[in-house]
Amino acid sequence: MTITSNKRFGSIPVFFTAISTILGAILFLRFGFAVGTLGFWGVLILILLGHALTIPTAFALSELATNKRVEGGGEYFIISRSFGLNIGATIGFALFLSQAISIAFYIIAFTEAFEFIFNYFMNSFNIYIPRQVISIPATLILGYIILKRGANMGMKMLYFVVAILFLSLLLFFLGKTEYGTTMGSGIPAGDLRNMKDFFIVFAIVFPAFTGMTAGVGLSGELRNPSTSIPRGTILATLTGMLIYIAVIYKLAISVPVEDMLADQLIMSRIAIMGAVIIPVGLAASTFSSAIGSILVAPRTLQALALDSSFPSKRINRWLSHGRKSDGEPANATIVTIIIAFFFVALGSVNAVAQIISMFFLVTYGSLCLISFLNHFGSSPSYRPSFKSRWYLSLGGFLIAIWVMFKINAPYAFAALFLMTVIYFYIRAYHRERDGLESLFANALFQVNRNIQVYLQRSGSQKKKKEWRPSAICISKDSFVRARAFHLLNWISYRYGFGTYLHRIDGYYSRATARKAAEELSRLIEIYDTTDNHVFVDTLISPSYTSALAQAIQVPGISGMENNMVIFEYDKENPENLGEIIENTGLIAAGDFDICLLASSRKEMIFRNGIHVWLDFHYPENSNLLILLSFIISGHPDWRKSNIKLFGTCKNGEEEEARLNLTDLVRTGRLPITEKNIEIVQEEPGMTLKNIINKKSGLAALTMIGFNTQILKRVGESFLDGYEETGTILFACSHNQKEIT
């Protein structure tokens, strides 16, 4: 995305755009109030806290800018290419509004430099003149100059007003007062007060810390952004911090506290020719800040439009248009001026200024978070020529969030809520774009890698391991039946882990590899739901046996070894049942639990519940069936269902069997009521299959234990005879599971 081919600026414009925004209205109008309220040491702490956020942000921004080519859009471009376009656009809209409304903020502050005119008319003629008499023409003049002459003229004006700004500061530092001569140049050790009001003052002064990234907005105009952005931004940030400290020191030793609190232009009493030079310096600082913002905001808006962030193609095309002669974002500038003009006409943006601060904090926190995650993710493609430190970036992110809520918690929640709404709105018409997962992919990879190694080490040291299912299923019928996947998902939702392997029949080759990739994409798309917790992959193998042998040797993605294999077949047409039975011995040899899912074409009505049939001759199977039924029922699909346990016994043993089963449920703290426990007496001429068909014909899922040796000996007929029953899960446990 290239906004203009006429790249003509270097590091100096970045520095001047940033420093002119840093040394703005707050410096002249509010630093005296801050020192008067908190004392020198209190404001020094305030400045250090502000720069504990801005310096890591400047470093993070410089790092990100030197890792990849930065085009037009400045901070928005960096964030959107790191977070993904949807999240980037969300933050970009907030950033643009902050920049556009900041123009109004600086213009309104600019009018304070003409307070003597307002006072003259009020004192001499008793005429109240609204600030808009100056602020509205100033906005129109500034907008006209930028529209007609573009960034070149803006930069020339910026150089001029920055020169005036530095001259006014020089005369301020050279100025002397009678109070300063009497008291000397030392700062009292106890010049610290009213710390309970620290964050009230911080909220008032915070806009002073929001200018250091202003120069980044010129990224589309820079010859070499990866060099100019770090140099200009970091130099402006450090220069601003030193000037701030020098200003509060000069204030503290030059005038008494009561004067600082009474006069917002207290600097004019200290500076040489202060009555003239400080108002002129205030005008220069606020006008230069307005110039910096009006150069940056339209470029952010243009970059948003170039990324099709608006729902209308016509709007995107109009806003992204650059003037043919010099590439200036003329249309975006018009919109920016209209927004600024609206807030200037209101005359006050005090309430909006706090929302602006919130959006700036979100932007700064985002930049630090991106830098931290890139450090943590250790991507080979992340090779910035300028390197920050991960702990600086993490600290900057945490401070940004903390400061947001300390300044104004309701506004912080409002800003985050508004950005959430914007994000979901953008995602509604840009579903194809990456979301949060694109940001956290590398970080999650590192976390997963370290967790797997840890679990392997700790698992090998544990004598007694808590059982939970880590199941694997292989099927070539993925696009025919979905019951196996659903079973894995039920198991994986809360308590277990599931890996679903779609088998591609054949030998590994370029053609089968391409087919595997295509079918994997189809599967991921089919099962792309919020309730999907199964890892899906493909496996190329010429036979079912070799596929199983490969799969059971693969480590589980959860960090623990797979301990269960799930087979699936069509109950009404069991064409693959023979090869499944053949391979149960292979699976049993690896000490895996085995599940055979007989998928029925009957509809699963979840409210009909899960029926579990227990055989007291195989207690290991009984415990596995009970645990699996509990795990499956934890999925939202089964929220309106219940589990019913069935046991069979000989005549006269019913009460003992019921007591044993009830005690097992109670000591195991299972959500099964006594009324859902049923003991069925064996009757002559009545087979177990007949009983199950009669009792569980309507159940959504029926679970039955089996023995692999009997299955291999009897064959497919062992699983026949359940015509009246729906989907059945046959389970065989290789060892005893503890329920309690």
408 and 487 share one domain: no
359 and 468 share one domain: no
- The answer to whether the pTM exceeds 0.85 is no
CA distance 360 to 664: 59
Indicate the pairing of strand 593-599 with strand 610-614: unpaired
Residue 462 has pLDDT above 60, yes or no: no
215 and 342 share one domain: yes
Q: What is the DSSP letter of 151?
A: H
Q: Which residue has the tokens 């193609």?
A: 313
Buried b (16+ CB within 10 A) or exposed e, 665-685: beeeebebeeebbebbeeeee
Domain-terminating residue out of 429, 447, 475: 429
Q: What is the CATH number of the domain that holds 392?
A: 1.20.1740.10
390 and 478 share one domain: no
Higher per-residue pLDDT: 395 or 111: 395
419 and 469 share one domain: no
**Two structure tokens written together for 620:** 């290991």
Higher per-residue pLDDT: 134 or 246: 246
Within a domain: 120: no
Give the pLDDT band of residue 511 (cuts 50, 70, 90): very high
**Two structure tokens written together for 64:** 């990100």
Domain-terminating residue out of 404, 429, 454: 429
Within a domain: 452: no
Are the beta carbons of 36 and 205 closer than 8 angstroms? no
Domain enclosing residue 635, as ranges: 464-732
pLDDT digits (tens, 9 = 90+) for 491-508: 988 888 888 999 998 898
pLDDT at 106: 82
pLDDT digits (tens, 9 = 90+) for 56-102: 988 888 887 777 666 656 677 777 777 677 878 888 888 888 888 88
**Two structure tokens written together for 223:** 């010859």
User: Mean of the pLDDT values across residues 199-216?
Assistant: 78
Within a domain: 445: no
Angle between helices 274-306 and 132-174 (to 10 degrees): 120
Q: What is the DSSP letter of 678?
A: E
Indicate the pairing of strand 643-649 with strand 610-614: parallel
CA distance 470 to 496: 6
pLDDT at 476: 87
138 and 189 share one domain: yes
473 and 378 share one domain: no
Angle at the Cα of 396 (from 391 to 397), degrees rounded to 5? 100
Residue 129 has pLDDT above 70, yes or no: yes
196 and 344 share one domain: yes
Element (H, E) at 454: helix 436-461
CA distance 371 to 382: 10
Higher per-residue pLDDT: 448 or 576: 576
Within a domain: 231: yes
Within a domain: 458: no
377 and 523 share one domain: no
Residue 684 has pLDDT above 90, yes or no: no
Higher per-residue pLDDT: 190 or 408: 408
Are the beta carbons of 220 and 71 closer than 8 angstroms? yes
Q: What is the CATH number of the domain that holds 715?
A: 3.40.50.12370
CA distance 196 to 524: 55
CA distance 1 to 6: 14
274 and 320 share one domain: yes
Within a domain: 124: no
Q: Is 497 helix (H, G, I), strand (E, B) or coil?
A: strand
Task: Please say whether the dihedral angle defined by the alpha carbons of residues 291, 296, 297 and 299, taken in this order, is positive or negative.
Answer: positive
477 and 390 share one domain: no
260 bridge partner residues: none
Residue 577 has pLDDT above 50, yes or no: yes
Domain-terminating residue out of 409, 429, 449: 429
**Two structure tokens written together for 668:** 């195991």
Are the beta carbons of 256 and 100 closer than 8 angstroms? no
Higher per-residue pLDDT: 550 or 450: 550
Q: Which residue has the tokens 């006429």?
A: 6
Residue 223 has pLDDT above 90, yes or no: no
Give me the DSSP letters along 587-649.
HHHTT-EEEEEEE-SS---GGG-EEEEE-TT-HHHHHHHHHHHHHHHTSGGGTT--EEEEEEE
Angle at the Cα of 473 (from 471 to 474), degrees rounded to 5? 155
Angle at the Cα of 65 (from 63 to 67), degrees rounded to 5? 70
pLDDT at 2: 39
424 and 474 share one domain: no
Percentage of the chain exceeding pLDDT 70: 86
Domains in the chain: how many in total? 2
Within a domain: 487: yes
Higher per-residue pLDDT: 214 or 706: 706
**Choice among 56-65, 258-267, 427-436 with the minimum mean pLDDT:** 427-436
Higher per-residue pLDDT: 221 or 580: 580
Spacing of C-alpha 87 from chain mean position: 8
CA distance 353 to 337: 17
Higher per-residue pLDDT: 367 or 700: 700
Phi, psi (deg, nearest 5) at residue 644:
-120, 130
Within a domain: 448: no
68 bridge partner residues: none
Backbone dihedral region of 487: left (phi > 0), alpha (psi from -120 to 50 degrees) or beta?
A: alpha
Residue 379 has pLDDT above 50, yes or no: yes
pLDDT digits (tens, 9 = 90+) for 627-672: 899 889 988 889 889 999 998 887 777 888 888 888 777 777 777 8
